[in-house]
Structure formats: C-alpha cells, structure tokens
A and B are shown apart, each in its own frame.
Chain A
Amino acid sequence: MTDVVTNLTLFVLAAFLGYSIITKIPATLHTPLMSGANAITGITLVGAVVVAGSGSSTLATALGFLAVVMATVNVVGGYLVSHFMLEDFSKAGGDLS
C-alpha cells in the first residue's frame, strides 16, 4: 500500500505545481500550450512500450502495439505542431516595428 501513498503524494504535488505554472501562461500562448501539454500526455507511450514489448500474451501485445501507435502519433504530432506554432510567434515577435 505504501506505493499507492507515494503515488498519491506525487499526484497531489504535481497538480499544485501544474496549477501554479499554467496560470502564468498568457492567453496568447494558450493554443501552443494546449498542444504542447497534449504532447506530454503521450508519456503514456512509456506504459505502452512496456506492455507492447514485454507482453507475454498475444492479446496484451496486440493492445500494446495499438497503444504504441496512438501514443506515438500523439507525441510526435503534438510536439511538431507546437513547434510550428511557436516558431510563428517568435518570428512575428522579432520584426516589431
């Protein structure tokens, strides 16, 4: 049960930390924030890698494979679109008249 308590502690602290960081982000950046945060959600890829790579039953491996595909789309696509959007912002910020 100690694992659960430790995990719960992490959960609560991360929630507070997330709250205090995100409230400082200006509305201008809300879309890239969302897609960037969205890419972080792809961390579930770590879990997918574990079950896809080490699954002992065919069913678990198949589900893991599907999860790896979806999570990788999420991670790769999410970071890329965020990057493209943020480049627009830094480019647009530079030539201020």
Chain B
Amino acid sequence: MIAGIPESVLSLAYLLAAILFIQGLRDMTHPRTATRGNLTSAAGMLLAVGVTVVWFEIISPVVLLAGLVVGSLVGVFLAVRVEMTEMPQLVGVFNGFGGGASALVAGAELIELQGGNPGGAIPVDVGIAAAAAGLIGAVTLFGSMVAAGKLHGVIGGSAIRYTGEHVVKAVLLGVAVVAGVYLVVQPDVLSASLQGSWVPSFWILILAASLLGIALVVPIGGADMPVVIALLNSYSGLAAAGTGFVLNNTALIIAGTLVGAAGMILTVIMCESMNRSLLNVLFGGFGETGSDEEMPDIYEGNITETSPEEMGILLDSVNRVVIVPGYGMAVAQAQHAVAELATLLGERGVEVEFGIHPVAGRMPGHMNVLLAEADVPYERMKELEEINPTFSQTDLVIVIGANDVVNPLANTDDSSPIAGMPVLNVSEAGTVIVNKRSLSPGFSGIPNPLFAEDNTFMLFGDGKATMQAVVNEYKESR
C-alpha cells in the first residue's frame, strides 16, 4: 500500500462504488433512465478499479497495464462488431469470462497465501470460499462457452443426450467436491506429492468443474437457453462474491451478490414462464425426442393458406393488430420489416401492439431488444399478462416465427409436455395469420392445433422476405 493513505479510504471508495452499482440498477427499472443507470454503474466500476490500482503496491505495472489494454481492446472489438441477433451468445461469452476470471483470481491468491510453503497457511474460511469461487467460476466459464457455441451454431443446438450422462455429471461433481474438501482440510496424507506450491488440489477442482460445466450444458436444447444464460449470469456473480470472501474485499462481495440475485430472479421468471422447474430444465431432457410418427395428423385438410396479397387487403379493414414475435423472427432477421409494417399500420390509424412471451427467443428480453433496434417504441411491447385480455378485442394477430408460446394445448391438454405453460391466447382474436416456413413442430416437438383452427391462416415463407412482401402490398393498397 502507498504510505499515507489509510485503509479506510479504500473501504469508503468501495462503498461509494457499491452505491453507484445499486443506483445504476435502480435506474434500470425504466427505459427512460436505463441508459443513465448503465453509465452510473460503469462509473462505479471505474472508481473501484482506479482506487485499487492507486492504493495497492503494484510490483509489476507493465503486466497489469498490458492486461488492461488487451482486455479493453478485445471488449470494444466484440461490442462494436456484434449484430443484435448475435447478442445472446455474446452475453454468454462475457458471462463466462467474468466467471473464469473469478476462478483464476481465487487460484492465484491461494498460491500467494501458500507462498511456496507447501501444506501451510490457508485459513479454513479462505479455503472454502476459494473452492466455491473456483467451482462456480469454472462451471460458468465452460458452461457459457458451450451455450454460446450452441447459440452461434458451432455446436449442435439441439439437446444432446447419452446414456449415463447423469452419472458423468455426478462423478465430476464428486471429484470437484473431494478436491475442495482436500483443499480446505489439507490432511497430511500425500503431502509430499499433492501439496506443491501451486496448490494442486485447487486445480484438480478447476479441471473437474470445467468438465462439469461442459457436461451440464451440452444436454440442454436451444429453446431452454434463456434459462441457462440467466443461471450462468447468476453463477458469475456468485463466483465474484466467493472471490470477495477469499480476498476479504467488500466491493466484490456486494457487487457479486447483486448480480447473483439478479440472475437468479431472471432464472426463476424464465422457469415459471414455461411452467417447469429449474431441475427439469437442467436435467429433464426436454424436446430431445420427436415421437411425431405416431401423432395424429391434425393438420390434414384443416390448413388454410394465405398470401401477402390477401394479407395486404385484409390489413385495410382492421382497427387493432397484435404482433407476436418468436425466435423465428430473430433467425430470419425480420425485425426491421415487422417494425416497418407496424409503423405503416400506425400511420393509417391502426392500433398496433406487440405481445411478447417471456421465453420467446434465446435470452430474457431477446425480442424486446431486437424490436427496439428496429425503432419499435417500448410502450408498444406488452407482456403476456397485459396482452392476453386484449385478444378478444383484436381484429388480427400476426404470429411471426413463434410456435410453442401460442400453442393452445398448454391450456387444454394436461398430458402435453407444455401443459400449464402460460401461452398467448391468440385464437381469441378475429383472425390469426401465422408466418412460418413450414408446419414443423416447435422446440417441444408437438403439433400446434392453432394452425388448424378456422380463423387461422398460414403464411408460409421466410420471415424477412414475407414480411417485406406484405409491407409492399400494403403500401400499394392505397
């Protein structure tokens, strides 16, 4: 430490940083103040890091500076270059880096504490905290990389399952826990070989936890990614909090715990929106089987097709339209065409709202971000509870790239895999137009009776091209 500055200055600076984080999060409760909130939070971070650099005695400033510069360049490059549709995987990657950094810091601090003196000097509480931070951090890093790989299409997006996968996970967790206990207790057995100056038991724990992170996420399918991303977000916060216990650093504990709570709440919201438990999402193996061969063909003879021309004419006679987007809209990058249609309708006096299901897309709030990018005002984006009572007064619902979240079987069929899941009851509207590429089932693997209903018209085709065609038809119709 630098002589002359008491430790209380450092502590007070951390307190101020914590206040800025909290105020920043509070400002996130409304879109108007959210930008300011993010900047407030960033100011807190700058303060915390800056005061740390000044206060602690830096033996190797070149190493530190190099790390900061490299990290900043990579961060800016990724953030500037990213497409809005790639946001879920980028958030996943950032998450992973945060968790990984926490694990590394815990490991480095253990090595410092042991100070080349095998078998000594790691207090029990520090050992426990380091083991927790290492376990959670490594799971977060590798789990996030797999999740991001799936979202980016590098790894197969579907649920990959194999016999004995639960055994594999249990064994990996067991190895990690044993290594953690060994780290904390440090028994004299094997002392010569296993208590080197680099604290081998911690790195065994890291290795097992890394493999566990991979094993946990690989079997989870694409549509469950909102839950996984939110949960890993929570983990990265908890890992930081754990590292805070290791370093006895209040800023890490407060900030990490805030994020841990935030991620946990999002995780719970996502699970409730699918009427499934967290355990079922993580271990249940949803959507990996398609026993669609035996399913009765409910579509036969009941499907009515429509075209952009017909839809353009229909749009001339409506007063209220609700647009229900799904992951298909993101895949097709159709948000700009959809937003243009909404704007045109609005200009001609039609009331347009967006009905957004909580788990539509691949991360919490995915649809909202895409629509905001396409300049849709956030006042137009309605949550499920808000929009459902309005369908009976709605002339036309346009479903674009969504399937399971509008499947009425969730309300009617108790044996369905999505039974009890809150869905958007779009068929209460006068007319429903569904834009999809085909009749193929959604993530749940079950057919959707909505498509066969009398007031439903199917508009087959790529989301972007089809919506653009509708926009052109509608423009010409007057």
Given contacts A27-B365, A41-B255, A43-B45, contact A82 B381 (CB under 8 A): no
Q: Which residues of A contact B105 (CB under 8 A)?
A: 44, 47-48, 51, 63-64, 67
Pick the contact of B94: A3, A27, A31, A74 (CB < 8 A): A74
Tell me if B310 is interfacial: C-beta within 8 Å of chain A.
Answer: no
Closest 8 CB pairs of A and B: A72-B71, A18-B261, A68-B67, A30-B365, A76-B75, A77-B75, A80-B79, A30-B364
Residue numbers of A with Cβ under 8 A of B are 1, 3-4, 7, 10-11, 14-19, 21-57, 59-61, 63-93, 95-97
| Chain A proximity of B284: nearest CB distance (Å) | 23
- Complex: how many Å from CA A64 to CA B365? 34
Tell me if B104 is interfacial: C-beta within 8 Å of chain A.
Answer: yes
Residue numbers of B with Cβ under 8 A of A are 21-22, 24-26, 28-32, 34-35, 37-39, 41-42, 45, 48-49, 52-53, 56-61, 63-64, 66-68, 70-72, 74-76, 78-80, 82, 84, 87, 90-91, 94-95, 97-102, 104-105, 107-109, 111-112, 115-116, 125, 197-198, 229-230, 233, 236-237, 239-241, 243-263, 265-266, 269, 343, 346-347, 356, 358, 363-366, 368-369, 371-373, 375-379, 381, 383
| Chain A proximity of B55: nearest CB distance (Å) | 9
Q: Which of B24, B71, B102, B261 has its CB near the most chain A CB atoms (within 10 A)?
A: B71
User: Does more than half of chain A's interface fall in helix, strand or loop, or is it mixed?
Assistant: helix
Q: Which residues of A contact B29 (CB under 8 A)?
A: 21, 24-26, 29
Q: Which residues of B contact A27 (CB under 8 A)?
A: 269, 356, 358, 364-365, 368, 383
Cβ–Cβ contact A65 & B21, under 8 A: no
Cβ–Cβ contact B258 & A40, under 8 A: yes
Cβ–Cβ contact A14 & B254, under 8 A: yes
**14 additional contacts, CB 8 Å, given A75-B45, A79-B38, A86-B34?**
A10-B257, A11-B245, A16-B261, A17-B22, A36-B37, A44-B98, A55-B108, A65-B64, A68-B101, A70-B101, A72-B74, A90-B31, A90-B34, A92-B375
A-B contact pairs, 30 of them (CB 8 A): A15-B261, A18-B262, A22-B262, A27-B269, A28-B356, A31-B364, A31-B365, A31-B368, A34-B364, A38-B236, A41-B98, A44-B105, A44-B243, A46-B49, A46-B252, A48-B101, A48-B105, A52-B64, A53-B58, A61-B60, A66-B101, A67-B102, A72-B70, A73-B71, A74-B75, A76-B76, A77-B76, A77-B79, A88-B375, A91-B375
- Complex: how many Å from CA A10 to CA B15? 11
Given contacts A37-B263, A41-B237, A70-B100, contact A96 B379 (CB under 8 A): yes
Q: Which residues of A contact B82 (CB under 8 A)?
A: 81
Cβ–Cβ contact B254 & A72, under 8 A: no
Q: Which residues of B contact A70 (CB under 8 A)?
A: 71, 97-98, 100-101, 104
- Complex: how many Å from CA A50 to CA B249? 11
Cβ–Cβ contact A49 & B372, under 8 A: no
- Complex: how many Å from CA A36 to CA B178? 35
- Complex: how many Å from CA A72 to CA B104? 14
Cβ–Cβ contact B265 & A22, under 8 A: yes
Q: Which residues of B contact A30 (CB under 8 A)?
A: 266, 363-365, 368
Residue of A nearest to B24 (CB): A36
Given contacts A43-B48, A50-B247, contact A76 B71 (CB under 8 A): yes
Cβ–Cβ contact B104 & A88, under 8 A: no
Q: Which residues of A contact B48 (CB under 8 A)?
A: 43, 46
Q: Which residues of B contact A80 (CB under 8 A)?
A: 75-76, 79-80
| Chain B proximity of A50: nearest CB distance (Å) | 5
Given contacts A52-B64, A57-B111, A57-B112, contact A33 B365 (CB under 8 A): yes
Given contacts A7-B253, A63-B111, contact A28 B104 (CB under 8 A): no
Given contacts A55-B108, A97-B346, contact A86 B35 (CB under 8 A): yes
Cβ–Cβ contact A63 & B107, under 8 A: yes
Residue of B nearest to A6 (CB): B250
Residue of B nearest to A45 (CB): B49
Residue of A nearest to B70 (CB): A69
Given contacts A69-B71, A73-B75, contact A54 B56 (CB under 8 A): yes
| Chain A proximity of B327: nearest CB distance (Å) | 14
Q: Which residues of A contact B197 (CB under 8 A)?
A: 57
Q: Which residues of B contact A92 (CB under 8 A)?
A: 371-372, 375-378
Pick the contact of A49: B25, B64, B75, B368 (CB < 8 A): B64
Pick the contact of B67: A4, A33, A40, A69 (CB < 8 A): A69
| Chain B proximity of A56: nearest CB distance (Å) | 7
Pick the contact of A1: B90, B102, B125, B366 (CB < 8 A): B125
Pick the contact of A47: B58, B75, B244 (CB < 8 A): B244
Q: Which residues of A contact B35 (CB under 8 A)?
A: 83, 86-87, 89-90
Q: Which residues of A contact B63 (CB under 8 A)?
A: 52-53, 61, 64-65
Q: Which residues of A contact B229 (CB under 8 A)?
A: 34
Cβ–Cβ contact B78 & A73, under 8 A: yes
| Chain B proximity of A6: nearest CB distance (Å) | 8
Q: Which residues of A contact B377 (CB under 8 A)?
A: 92-93, 95-97
